[in-house]
Amino acid sequence: MQDIKSLTITELSDKLAELGQPKYRASQVFRWLSRGARGFDDMSDLPKKLRDDLASAFSLTPPVMAQSRTSSDGTVKYLWKLADGETVESVVMEYKHGTTVCVSSQVGCRMGCKFCASTIGGLVRNLTAGEILDQVIFSGTEAQKQISSVVLMGIGEPLDNFDNVLRFLRIVSSPEGYNLGMRHITVSTCGNPESIDKLAGYNLQLTLTISLHAPDDETRSELMPVNRTSGVAAVMDAAKRYFDNTGRRVSLEYALIDGVNDGEEKANALAGLLRGAPYHVNLIRLNEVPERGLAPSGNGAVLKFTNALAARGVNFTIRRRLGLDIDAACGQLRRRSKDKESGTMPYFGLTDRGKVRRTNQDVFGAKTLPGVTLLAVCDGMGGASAGEVASALALKTFLESAETKLSNAVVTAADVSAEFSRAVHIAGNAVLEEASGNAEQAGMGTTLVAAGVIEDSGEVVACNIGDSRAYKSAPSGITKITRDHSVVGEMVERGALTPEQARRHPRRNLITKALGTLQDEEPDIFNVSLDPGEYLLLCSDGLTGTATDEEIWLTVKAASGCEEAANELMQMALRRGAPDNVTVLLFQRGEVSYNG
């Protein structure tokens, strides 16, 4: 059957005329589709017979949200499962000017860019116009936001799926439907000159962004194989023609990659390439993909590069990297945590549903405040949907509550301890109230482990309820900070079980304390300190159920930073079957990184 979501209003009107329907019915149906109707029976103002006829003549297959990740900066990433089982990603980002969604145009990609995760598995297929539109509609619905801008910068090369992307642009901008103005849409491309010229011929008032990433053919061809068929000069000529035809300024994306394209000579070459042309350069440090072996530029290289551009009069912006703790860069499956705004004491987190569970009820988050960094992990329970609600609600409520009291530049361990106790009460009561007001969520709850690291002193205040854990990892060994509130954990404390026996015990998942079960549940509070170079690890029992404390310590000890340690811990859990959701969140005192 034909995909009704991929029809323009004119095409839909013609199709309905064939069914003997008046013209105004097309506008009704088109509005329902743009509002996110998941089935024809949702279209309540249509006659029953027409709804039945539509169901017989057309397919309407909205995507299923397989996973979602919310960043500490508010960015939300969604993984959508399509009708054929393939998956694509969209990312919702908050800016001062409104809410932007980044959408995918293909399942996979065949461009082969060396820095990108999307192309690792190659191109699977093109997305239909309806599948691209669904990402816009349902991302907004899930995030409960009004989408004000769309960027086609997710998985895939939009102009490699030219016809379907053009159809999407016409549908999403249709006044009868979603009605998003073309000036609020950005199309990003690797830069095939013929495709750019073809798009220019339609004179659409959208923004075209070209992924340049290097000013010379040798470097660009190494990074982007598509350049080998045309060259930088041909791409820039096509950009100039696009501006001449449409009057719309072209933006150039430039990811700064350590030792590859970030030298002063590259900056000067880029300035020479852009001399006198109406371009704007968007600079961003590379979003690292471990499989690619490329790293983002360091502080010094970024400063020298931007100084060189400024001296030559180049119009550029250093883009803020959003959603690092959820791995918001297109195509990456791991979740990364964002660099702190202050550029010091970074953290890095990953979460995975594991090898057995159908959904992921774990969440993690962080808040960077003037004097303290807050970190938290929650592991929900009570059924898939209820567990997800409980953990997400507890994390959000806990961090927001703690932030309101700990935003001063001078924070003591006593301040953090008192606030953690209060924030846990608030979060637990919020979960309890939610559960009592919804029969489907009755009995839901969540573990919580949290830590506050005081920046100046390295003092750590940790709290927990349940069996999610906090560890301190030093060169000399690992120390479990928190105490498990679980049946087997308490048996270990009494000497009735060894830690190894506990990991394999049939009752290992039974906890004796959780948020959402009692009013004003009291957490355990612990105080430790971190020396420079030492790690703080927060994790769910999905990790500790597959690895011993010593194995965790040896893995962290061998790593060169939070990201490598988190990836290695996650891979260890997954290699061992990961029967539960797995979350790891690491913090290392004393590292310094640049956040543009």
Q: In what order do the strands lie in the sheet with 362-368?
A: 362-368, 372-381, 445-454, 459-465, 524-529
Q: Which of 133, 157, 189 is the last residue of a domain?
A: 189
Q: Both 54 and 68 in a single domain?
A: no
CA distance 213 to 502: 52
% of the chain exceeding 70 in pLDDT:
90
CA distance 189 to 196: 8
More confident residue, 565 or 124: 565
Q: Both 393 and 523 in a single domain?
A: yes
What pLDDT, on a 0 to 100 scale, did the predictor assign at position 114? 86
Q: Both 11 and 160 in a single domain?
A: no
- Any alpha helices (H) in 177-248, and if so which ranges? 193-200, 217-223, 232-246
* Number of structural domains the chain divides into: 4
Do the Cβ atoms of 59 and 39 come closer than 8 Å?
no
* pLDDT band at 341; cut points 50, 70, 90: very low
In a domain, 510, yes or no: no
Q: Both 214 and 309 in a single domain?
A: yes
Q: Is 516 left (phi over 0), alpha (psi -120 to 50) or beta?
A: left
CA distance 52 to 48: 6
In a domain, 334, yes or no: no
Residue whose structure tokens are 């003591």: 412
Query: What is the separation of C-alpha 8 from the centre of its chain, rounded to a whole number of angstroms?
Result: 31
Residue of 113, 116, 190, 330 marked catalytic: 330
| 1 Cβ contact partners less than 8 Å away, ≥ 6 residues apart | 57, 58, 59
In a domain, 479, yes or no: no
In a domain, 493, yes or no: no
- Point out which residues pair with 453 in neighbouring strands: 373, 460
Q: Both 156 and 219 in a single domain?
A: no
Tens digits of residue pLDDT in 291-315: 667 888 988 999 999 999 999 999 9
How high does pLDDT run on average in the chain?
87
* CATH code for the domain in which residue 431 is found: 3.60.40.10
Q: Which domain holds residue 90?
A: 63-189
Tens digits of residue pLDDT in 164-201: 999 999 999 999 999 999 999 999 999 999 999 999 99
- Taking 3-state DSSP, the helix, strand and coil percentages for the chain, each rounded to the nearest 5, stand at 40, 25, 35
Q: Both 427 and 555 in a single domain?
A: yes
Which whole number is the average pLDDT over 572-591?
Answer: 87
Q: Which of 59, 76, 94 is the last residue of a domain?
A: 59
Q: Both 51 and 158 in a single domain?
A: no
89 is catalytic: yes
- DSSP label at residue 161: G
What pLDDT, on a 0 to 100 scale, did the predictor assign at position 486? 80
In a domain, 331, yes or no: no
- DSSP label at residue 128: P
Q: Both 293 and 377 in a single domain?
A: no
Q: In what order do the strands lie in the sheet with 347-352?
A: 347-352, 582-588, 535-539, 469-474, 477-480
* CATH code for the domain in which residue 24 is found: 1.10.150.530
In a domain, 76, yes or no: yes
* CATH code for the domain in which residue 216 is found: 3.20.20.70
In a domain, 111, yes or no: yes
Q: Both 73 and 53 in a single domain?
A: no
Which whole number is the average pLDDT over 213-220?
Answer: 96
| 10 Cβ contact partners less than 8 Å away, ≥ 6 residues apart | none
Tens digits of residue pLDDT in 354-405: 888 867 788 888 777 888 999 999 998 876 467 878 888 898 889 889 988 8
pTM above 0.75, yes or no: no
CB neighbourhood size of 197 (10 A): 14
Tens digits of residue pLDDT in 118-139: 876 677 889 999 999 999 999 9
What pLDDT, on a 0 to 100 scale, did the predictor assign at position 354? 80
Q: Both 217 and 185 in a single domain?
A: no
In a domain, 507, yes or no: no
Residue 472 is which amino acid? Answer: K
More confident residue, 299 or 346: 299
More confident residue, 29 or 319: 29
Q: Both 429 and 529 in a single domain?
A: yes
Residue of 89, 419, 534, 563 marked catalytic: 89
Q: Both 23 and 128 in a single domain?
A: no
